[in-house]
Homo-oligomer: A and B are copies of this chain.
Amino acid sequence: MKSYLKHDEWKIIEEGFHPEHNRISESVFSIGNGRMGQRANFEEHYSGDSLQGSYIAGVYYPDKTRVGWWKNGYPEYFAKVINSVNWIGINIKIAGEPLDMHVLKHQNFRRELDMKTGILSRSYVVSLSDGSELEISSRRICSIADPEIGAIEFQIKSKTFKGDVELSPYLDFDVENEDSNYDEKFWEEVIVDVNGNEGHVMAKTRKLDFTVAAAMEYAINGSTIAEYNISKKNNYVESTSTHNLEPGDMLVLNKYVGISSNMYADKKEVLLKAQEAASRAMNAGFEKLLRDHSNSWQAKWEESDITIEGDVSAQQGIRFNIFQLSQTYTGVDDRLNIGPKGFTGEKYGGSTYWDTEAYCIPFYLATADQNVARNLLIYRYKHLQKAIANAEKLGFSCGAALYPMVTMNGEECHNEWEITFEEIHRNGAIAHAIYDYIRYTGDKEYLSEYGLEVLIAISRFWAQRVNWSEDKKKYVMLGVTGPNEYENNVNNNWYSNYIAKWCMTYTMESIAYVKENHPDKFAGILQKSSFVEGEMEKWKNICDNMYFPESEEHNIYLQQEGFLDKELLPASSIPEQERPISQNWSWDRILRSCFIKQADVLQGMYFFEDHFDLETIRRNFDFYEPMTAHESSLSPCVHAIIASKLGKHDKAYEMYIRTARLDLDDYNNDTEDGCHITSMGGTWMSFVKGFAGMRIKKGMPSFDPFLPKQWKSYSFNIRFRNKLIHVSVSNQGVKIDNNSNSAIDILVYGEKTQIDSGSSVSVAMNTFESAAG
């Protein structure tokens, strides 16, 4: 855990440069606009430690996999999130010396990300070798108002320096991925050109021919009149002008970049699109671009902001999570998804994990139009045939589908057998998201349109994946990896067995619904899926006879068979210097230990809480929570929600802080690789479903809020079926405003209330004493 960043309600601030944490800062201060994103690398050259990263939505590279020993069924490639054009770059020489913070003395460094406006800024004072000083400052945006535009303002002010300053804005596609498996570069030049203060590079990926163009224009002190020295290299253009500075003089360079890809334009149009965007930006000017950008952010915040009074650190944390989620995925393009690192790093590869369904969809359901979540579901629908092909590759048949663990385009693109072949519970999360979406939106017709086909294919998979144990006289599921990836290849993971049974049950209910309500569509689905209703006989039989490991002694469900053979120790017994164990213990030792990477049995109790009484949930929580190391970013949120439900307010608060400030405080010592974007959906859940106890019950939003003792109050907005409500919680009680055009029924502490349009209700705080643990 680190705490070098300042606490502030709206801003992320680094005061004084921390080169040892530079990669972390580069991740945390990343900016993006759903279409592209950029780590907080410096504009000027920096020869110190840095992870360069500029990412374009939907553009990836199918890198050859690396495995020691190939086995049948392994994926053919590992899709890389691809480092793309360096569009921010400005080489600067001052009296011939390159401006490089790693080499030159500097002071008063400040890096600041204003989340309210989405502007990244930076400033410092640099001293040259002769002792003369200059003030450097920069601001930049990835415009969220016009997502083809990136814009930079770079200022150099002489304090005591006299002499020439060379400014060389450039565009560079000759970049690397650190994570490249074979040290290859991924970009091939298509066109480069530069003239005066304008230049462009178009390049394509060496495989799949993704084509991206970047075009730049720039002005210095508001003018484009200067003498330019231009240069071109492979995949690179640069334009240089030289300016004489006296003490007190200032140079202001504005660089405007347009970026376009063949995701959004015909290949022949890509370059033109980029050039048009650059010109559009140049014509608008920097201040106008900032204004439009800030206004767009303001609109986003109006719908999604969460306020916390009395705890700056918590306030900063939740806003940071919302900010990152909002700039990663905007929900307008059903070909895109939410990569685990978003636009903040290249690690993990692929773009879509079960994170989307389990942790992100609830956020988008409650803060955006319901089409955003629906697009995320349709994304999977479109991949159904590939999921069926994937299952066939592994030996399944008859339309059974196994969705990939990681994907870009529907194909599996990860390559550890214990993950790709065995972490099959992901299929369950995909089915559960359909249920979750319908529960939230009431859009039951989604089943007949898309959902049922997916559910049938997933249920077929489960029915083939279990086998009858003569020994147990039960159906068992062998050789799986549950959500807790600190176990591999276990038998009868309770969560996997449970969600498999649930999937089959829900599919059968959905079949009955569609059959009754949409007989025509149902006939179509039968035909398309070659489904016969007789298949359900086997499903029923499996559901009736599924094996679930339990411990009579502890009166809990067992995470998997044999779990009690482990040496059961609390995670608190792990010495501080050995954490995270993923970075300090051998893999073997981790696997044999009882320590849990992320909620597993508890993940199931979170998904299906109504299936269990409070005491059962409490016993399981009390058993597993102490052994949980939370080394997955997806863990604390679920624990926070259950702890809230159980009245364990301190635990809920602890877990909330851990997920909300995971990256800001680098809890898991891996933020240098990028931020944990998908887990930010979990942060939001831990707040709204945890502290505010929000659920959907009988088609109504339901709240059971409590106020952490560290806070004075909190508030948030919720969209529900085209209605907008505002929830505020303080010591005075719970106040809910209906900001919609029509009345809404809600539940507060189980009591149903109708709130008229424009009205509000207030309810006294329930202190939850009875449930407290």
Minimal beta-carbon separation of A552 from chain B (angstroms): 11
Task: Flag whether A86 is at the interface (Cβ < 8 A).
Answer: no
Give the interface segment out of A234-242, A409-417, A743-751: A409-417
Q: Chain A 200-226, CB within 8 Å of chain B: the 1/0 string?
A: 000000000000000000000000000
The answer on a CB contact under 8 Å between B592 and A478 is yes
Cβ of A228 within 8 Å of any chain B Cβ, yes or no, is no
Q: Does any Cβ of B come within 8 Å of A523's Cβ? A: no
Known: A68-B415, A394-B589, A588-B421. A491 touches B562 (CB 8 A): yes
Contact B471 A564 (CB under 8 A): yes
With A395-B585, A478-B592, A585-B395 in contact, do A469 and B564 touch (Cβ < 8 Å)? yes
B72 pairs with A585, CB closer than 8 A:
yes
Give the distance in Å from the alpha carbon of A645 to the alpha carbon of B89 in the complex.
Answer: 77
> Within A167-211, which residues are at the interface with B (CB < 8 Å)?
181-182
Q: How often does this chain occur in the complex, in copies?
A: 2
Q: Which residue of B lies closest to A392 (CB)?
A: B586
- List 7 A-B pairs, Cβ < 8 Å: A66-B67, A71-B587, A72-B582, A72-B587, A74-B587, A479-B588, A479-B591
In the complex, chain B residues whose CB is within 8 Å of the CB of A670: none
Q: A68-B416, A415-B68, A562-B478 are in contact. Are A588 and B472 (CB under 8 A)?
A: no
Flag if B491 contacts A565 (CB, 8 Å): yes
Question: Is A679 in contact with chain B by the CB < 8 A criterion?
Answer: no
Q: Which A residues have a C-beta under 8 Å from some C-beta of B?
A: 65-69, 71-74, 78, 181-182, 393-395, 414-418, 421-422, 467-472, 476, 478-479, 488-492, 553, 561-562, 564-568, 582-589, 591-592
Per the bound structure, the CA–CA distance linking A422 and B470 in Å amounts to: 28
Query: Which chain B residue lies CB-closest to A478?
Result: B592
Bound CA span A582–B70, Å: 11
A24 to chain B, nearest CB (A): 20
Please report the C-alpha to C-alpha distance between residue A749 and residue B565 in the assembled complex, in whole angstroms: 46
Closest 9 CB pairs of A and B: A73-B586, A421-B588, A471-B564, A71-B587, A66-B66, A394-B586, A469-B565, A68-B415, A395-B589
A415's nearest neighbour on chain B, judged by CB, is B68
A562 contacts which of B182, B561, B566 (Cβ < 8 Å)?
Answer: B561
Given A68-B78, A72-B585, A418-B489, 12 new contacts (CB under 8 A): A69-B416, A72-B587, A73-B589, A393-B586, A395-B586, A421-B587, A421-B588, A467-B566, A469-B564, A471-B564, A489-B489, A491-B562
Q: How far is the CB of A234 from chain B (nearest CB, A)?
A: 23
State the CA gap A420–B249 with chains docked (Å). 65
Kindly identify which residue among B418, B469, B472, B565 contacts A472, using a CB–CB cutoff of 8 Å.
B565
Please indicate the chain B residues that have their CB under 8 angstroms from the CB of A479 in the complex. 588, 591-592
Complex contact A422–B72 (CB within 8 A): no
With A and B bound together, what is the CA distance between A490 and B421 in angstroms? Answer: 17
Task: Find the residue from A66, A68, A561 having the highest chain B CB count within 10 A.
Answer: A68
Taking a contact as CB atoms under 8 Å apart, the answer to whether A565 and B416 are in contact is no
In the complex, which of the residues A65, A553, A568, A592 has the most CB atoms of chain B within 10 Å of its own CB atom? Answer: A592
Nearest chain B CB to A764's CB is how many angstroms away?
47
CB-CB nearest in chain B for A422: B588
Q: A624 to chain B: closest CB distance in Å?
A: 16
CA distance A566 to B492 in the complex (A): 12
Cβ contact within 8 Å between B587 and A68 = no
Complex-state Cα separation, A469 to B476, whole angstroms: 23
- Complex Cα distance, B563 from A479, in Å, reads 11
Is the beta-carbon distance between A584 and B468 smaller than 8 angstroms? no
Give the CA-CA distance A468 to B567 in the complex, in Å: 7
- Chain B residues positioned under 8 Å from A562 (CB to CB): 478, 491, 561-562
Q: Given the complex, which residues of B lie within 8 Å of A567, measured CB to CB?
A: 467-468
Bound together, the chains give a CA A68 to CA B70 distance in angstroms of 11
CB–CB B587/A73 < 8 A: yes
Q: Is the CB of B476 within 8 A of A565?
A: yes
Contact A568 B470 (CB under 8 A): yes
Q: Determine the residue in chain B with the shortest Cβ distance to A395.
A: B589
Give Cα A72 to B590, complex, Å: 10
Q: What chain B residues lie within 8 Å of A566 (beta carbons)?
A: 467, 469, 478
Cα(A561)–Cα(B181), bound, Å: 38
Residues of B within 8 A of A476 (CB): 565
* B417 & A72 in contact (Cβ 8 Å cutoff): no
